[in-house]
Structure 1
Amino acid sequence: MIDPAVIPLSAVASQTLTVPLSGHTARLNVYQLNTGLFMDISLDEALIMAGVLCQDRTWIIRKAYYGFPGDLVFIDSQGTSDPDYSGLGDRWSLYYQEGQNV
């Protein structure tokens, strides 16, 4: 298994980034609402998940049938709190782990 890669995020309330992952193009829309941090995920221009609540140390994709070539997870470097936009890229990092059913 390949080591996880960090996906760079900024401490802003709403951002969209396009990143190459395992030979695919992923578009991640990360946004803060009153109820938490959420993410929409597209793979090769096809939306595969929308409105996913981001939680600390909880895999985001979870199921191979979505066709995503791995999984994503936020990790709190200062505890176990769920991510907030104000600490993205510092306190909370987003990791990509290649491989199905990670």
Structure 2
Amino acid sequence: MTFQIVPLNETASQTIKVILNQQSVRLDVYQRSTGLFMNVWLNGTQIVAGAICQNLNPVVHADYLGLGGDFVFVDTQGSDDPTYDGLGSRYVLVWGAFS
């Protein structure tokens, strides 16, 4: 089992590109009044749209999409759902690949 922290900034809307499991992944992370949301792109194809980001709740939920792992937000100071103003510090995005 391997884990990787995906670096995020404390901004209300951001797009980052990372290589995970030897694949190109793009993440769109954005704050709305109803919570923090994320889109996931794998090798240029959107595989998840508008997923709510919650503490310790996997974002992708579907092995068949080919990502080879999942994303989980972790509240390092409690059990709150993430908000943009704590990204990268209080709220850490972790990607886990299970082999």
Shorter-chain TM range is over 0.9
Q: Which runs of 4+ in 1 moved over 6 A?
A: none
SS in structure 2 at match of 1:86: helix
Following superposition, the deviation at residue 99 of structure 1 comes to: 2.7
RMSD: 1.0
Following superposition, the deviation at residue 67 of structure 1 comes to: 1.6
> After superposition, what is the alpha-carbon deviation per residue over 1:41-99, rounded to whole angstroms, capped at 9, x for unaligned?
00000000100000000011121112212100000011000000000000000001013
- Aligned pairs for 1:44-63 (under 5 A) are 44-63=43-62
List alignment gaps of at least 5 residues for structure 2: none
Q: Counterpart of 2:92?
A: 93
Q: Which whole-Å CA distance do the structure 1 matches of 2:62 and 2:26 have between them?
A: 18
Q: Counterpart of 2:68?
A: 69
List alignment gaps of at least 5 residues for structure 1: none
How many pairs are equivalent? 99
Q: How high is the TM-score relative to the length of structure 2? A: 0.96
Q: Counterpart of 1:27?
A: 26
Q: Counterpart of 2:37?
A: 38
Q: Which amino acid aligns with 1:53?
A: I
Q: Which whole-Å CA distance do the structure 1 matches of 2:46 and 2:61 have between them?
A: 16
SS in structure 2 at match of 1:18: strand
Following superposition, the deviation at residue 17 of structure 1 comes to: 0.3
SS in structure 1 at match of 2:85: helix
Identity of counterpart residues, as a percentage? 42
Q: How high is the TM-score relative to the length of structure 1? A: 0.94
